[in-house]
A and B are shown apart, each in its own frame.
Chain A
Amino acid sequence: MNQPHDRTDPARILARTLGPDGPELSCEECFAQLDRYVELELAGGDADGAVPGMRSHLAGCPACDEDHESLLSLLGTE
Chain B
Amino acid sequence: MVMPAEIPRAEPGFEAAEAPSRDLHERLNAGGPEREAAVVELHALLLKAARFEVNRRRDSLPHLRGGDHEDLAQQSADDALLAVLAKLDQFRGESRFTTWAYKFALLEAGVKVRRRAWQGREIPLEDEAWAVLADARRGVAHETETRDLIAALGEEIERSLSAHQRAVLVAVTLNDVPIDVLAERLGSNRGALYKTLHDARRKLRVALAERGLGVDGNDRPEER
Q: A: which residues have CB within 8 A of B?
A: 1-2, 5, 7-10, 13-14, 16-19, 21-22, 24, 26-28, 31, 34-36, 38-39, 60-64, 66-67, 70-71, 73-75, 77
Contacts and interface: CB of A to CB of B under 8 A. Distances in A.
Contact of A19 (B94, B133, B197): B197
Given A16-B174, A74-B106, 4 more contacts: A7-B176, A18-B205, A21-B215, A62-B178
Interface of B: 49, 52-53, 56-57, 59-60, 94-96, 99-100, 102-103, 106-107, 110, 114, 132-133, 135-136, 139-140, 146, 149-150, 153, 157, 169, 172-174, 176, 178-180, 190-191, 194-195, 197-198, 201, 204-205, 208, 215-216, 218-219
Main secondary structure of the interface of B (DSSP, over half): helix
A60 to B, nearest CB: 7
B204 A17 contact: yes
Closest 7 CB pairs of A and B: A16-B173, A35-B95, A19-B201, A8-B135, A27-B191, A35-B99, A36-B94
Task: Please classify the interface of chain A as helix (H, G, I), strand (E, B), loop, or mixed, using the class held by over half of its residues.
Answer: helix
A22 B110 CA distance: 27
A66 B215 contact: no
A35 B140 contact: no
A16 to B, nearest CB: 4
25 contacts: A8-B132, A10-B136, A10-B139, A10-B149, A13-B136, A13-B150, A14-B149, A14-B150, A16-B172, A16-B174, A17-B153, A18-B153, A18-B205, A18-B215, A21-B205, A21-B218, A35-B100, A36-B94, A39-B95, A62-B172, A63-B114, A63-B179, A67-B103, A70-B52, A71-B106
Contacts of B107: 31, 67
Given A2-B57, A39-B96, A74-B49, A21 B216 contact: yes
B201 to A, nearest CB: 4
B191 A28 contact: yes
B198 A60 contact: yes
A14 B139 contact: no
Nearest to B57: A2
Nearest to A28: B191
A38 B99 contact: yes
